[in-house]
Chain A
């Protein structure tokens, strides 16, 4: 159990592992995540279930090496076992109703958006995909997404692949040209999700986002993952991580993610290149 079956290097800092764990594979749904620990003294970190295969009993994770734990994870090889691997955690995303859905994945958010697009595709829903990244080296899954999206747009900040600009530029155009979008799912860095919601709010389009709060247990025990949704405080690990984007207090989330920045940098300079 928890053996790494395959390792794909999607970009120098982004890796995709397929991991054997038939219990999690049997239960996983789009929007859920796992928590792992790579060694006895290690931190528990959450990662989205990027894909699953119930028959083979495997789940996939895609992660970016941004700090200590993700780097140690990145050093592991096929055949190695991940010490602790628990899930599926969180509630599956309630996919938006309707048959014209826009799914936006920004940066690492492309990994979690993939199983959601796949679920919609399997239900016969028409999905417009928008993938964004800083530059083409860190853009992944575009071929896989192309197969399950009705239309797929790609944008990079520097124009190295697809259109130059931000995912919100594309979203604005889609809204302009296609005035009956039933819902939006947006997963990516908090500023991106916030910018998306600023637009969809104006047009009153139901929007689902996925929050990557800091977590410890992932079972509702510590309250470290709390998020404000409308006027209620929720725990991202058991009430989410997907929430109604139009109600999320993004500023609070951005602030809370910085809680351990100093400590993390002391252990290891951040290498994400401005992504976090």
Chain B
């Protein structure tokens, strides 16, 4: 697939992957063996009929291809771009055993980008009302599924824009915001009611929604509570959570400052702590905002890095350094309280831990200092506490995630369902969508039985 040249792209926020043109797409589609029992489908959390949509591409019928995709996935332009395909559908593609697997994600993106779906759906006015909290992938998937089952759906979103992490977290150069807006607008056109600036638990509580005539509630409030390491110096000026850094850059478009009015301060030397997608996104954003040196600090080795391979590859191409087997122990600042150093220690891998990965241990006496002027903490996030704190009897697990019945997605409160990152902890877009759809089914059953 064609990409923007790394030297050029670190100076702009335009999309890095340029996408297939028609010829490339058809060529790739023709490589698919059209398996009778396609293993790829088992790898897709929403079960897209992959061979069928690919077949339509090779037949030059993009409208048909899009219809096939939309049967299972209403956000194909987004998933085609950000799904970890290498661990999902493409991992199980039979062609992949000997050669490169079929580029399912890229084909999905191609179809979605080149074919606008005009939807016919309009909800009945007599359907029961269901409330969806949060407009990330989980909430959007749940809402559209409910709509298709004839319910009247209202999405309540805390921020001023819908989309969740798609809007505030994943950067423009990886997932353009107009792509996200277009896909969400389709939902609104279909008849979902969207109320932004509504913080459930503050503006109105979850239980009040039930009292107000919503027959069921779906919670898809995501994993929006940033973790810190709890090491000295983390509150110095110039130390950000990845969430703050990325929200300023993406949602508030600080890269267009001062035309857009939210500032974001990036120094010349930036260290990002962590090695997931969030860390790569932060590092690559910092580079584009003018940093001269950006490095990742991660306590395990490259093999354990949780980010997608493609993102790590792109980050390296863009000149981001990897300080692996390195753990921060403290952050230091100047007289005015601005960060200027990060103290680290080398690590080595010991025996495997509960996650099956080898446990990193500090190497005695190996402390060293990196000079920095910005530090970004990208070490994960937990479930947001606003809803749990304001909802009596909503059970959480020991990590603070909402506890649900694994079959139905119902929480400890009758009629209240939950899915996505708020249940699983930080996961993926398509898993959140899968959970949203599953809950829509349960909500449908629940309402019909009551």
Contacts and interface: CB of A to CB of B under 8 A. Distances in A.
Interface of A: 23-24, 27, 37, 41-44, 68-69, 83-89, 216-224, 226, 228, 233, 238, 252, 255-256, 258-260, 262-264, 266-267
Interface of B: 158-160, 168, 196-199, 202-204, 224-226, 228, 230, 234-235, 237-238, 240-241, 243-244, 247-248, 252-253, 256-263, 265, 336-337, 384-386, 389
Nearest to B240: A224
Contacts of B385: 220, 238
A260 B265 CA distance: 7
Nearest to A90: B202
Contacts of B247: 216-217, 221-222
Contacts of B160: 37, 44, 83-84, 86
A216 B244 CA distance: 8
B158 A86 contact: yes
Nearest to B333: A255
18 contacts: A27-B202, A27-B203, A41-B261, A85-B197, A88-B203, A216-B248, A217-B159, A222-B243, A223-B228, A223-B240, A224-B240, A224-B244, A226-B235, A233-B228, A233-B230, A255-B337, A259-B237, A259-B265
Given A86-B158, A226-B235, A219 B253 contact: no
B260 A41 contact: yes
Contacts of A226: 235
Contact of B243 (A218, A221, A252): A221
Contacts of B253: 41
Nearest to B257: A263
A44 B252 contact: yes
A194 to B, nearest CB: 15
B308 to A, nearest CB: 23
Contacts of B252: 43-44, 216
Contacts of B259: 41
A221 B226 contact: yes
A86 B204 CA distance: 11
A23 B243 contact: no
Contacts of A87: 199, 202-203
Contacts of A37: 160
Contact of B203 (A24, A256, A263): A24
